Amino acid sequence: MRTIKLPDTIKLPTLLDPWDQQEPSGPDATGIYNFYRNLAEGDLTTTKCKDCGKMNFPPTMLCSNCLSNNLEWVKIPEEGELYAFSVMALGVPLIIDTYAPFVVAIARFGDYPENGVQISGIIFDSKYEELKIGDKVKWEVIEIQGPGEKKRYWYCFRKI
């Protein structure tokens, strides 16, 4: 598993660090606790409507297609296809500037749009020149260490 180390001196604003807000229940629960729990267990998941079959990403509590709240958690297919990409060399957020330049991409997983999702993510292990639209990619969960002893999980893409 790839690990990204954040400096100990940077406090992430709540908007950029919702990890601590995720509780399975209670007044502060956001309803997407399972997304973060599943990432920590190595799975990238989202919600899928049981009424119309639409997969939503990011996960939602109401279907964006039919507004139903009859949703289930599903694992996103591990392999997808590169739809768009660009390189990020300047203006990189301070917390990951040591990893620049890197590729920011949009990939489609599953049978998009009928039964799949389109997701944005970072590709660390391929240069811009090595990629083309239609390349096969795989998502992988990454560990984010810091600031301090905190551990969080997110995802990135890898060309396959």
pLDDT at 129 over 90: yes
Distance CA 70, CA 83 (A): 30
Residue 60 and residue 42: Cα distance in Å, rounded?
Answer: 20
Alpha carbon distance 76, 116 (integer Å): 8
Instruction: Please report, for the chain, the start and end positions of each structural domain, with discontinuous segments joined by +.
Output: 3-159
**Structure tokens given for 111:** 């049978």
Q: What is the pLDDT of residue 144?
A: 83
Q: What share of the chain is helix, strand, coil (3-state, %, to 5)?
A: 15, 40, 50
| Cα 97 to Cα 155: distance, rounded to the nearest angstrom | 17
Q: Please, are residues 124 and 99 in contact by the beta-carbon 8 Å criterion?
A: yes
Verdict on whether the full-model pTM lies above 0.85: no
| Predicted confidence (pLDDT) per residue in 51-109, tens digit | 999 999 999 999 999 999 999 999 999 999 999 999 988 877 766 777 788 999 999 99
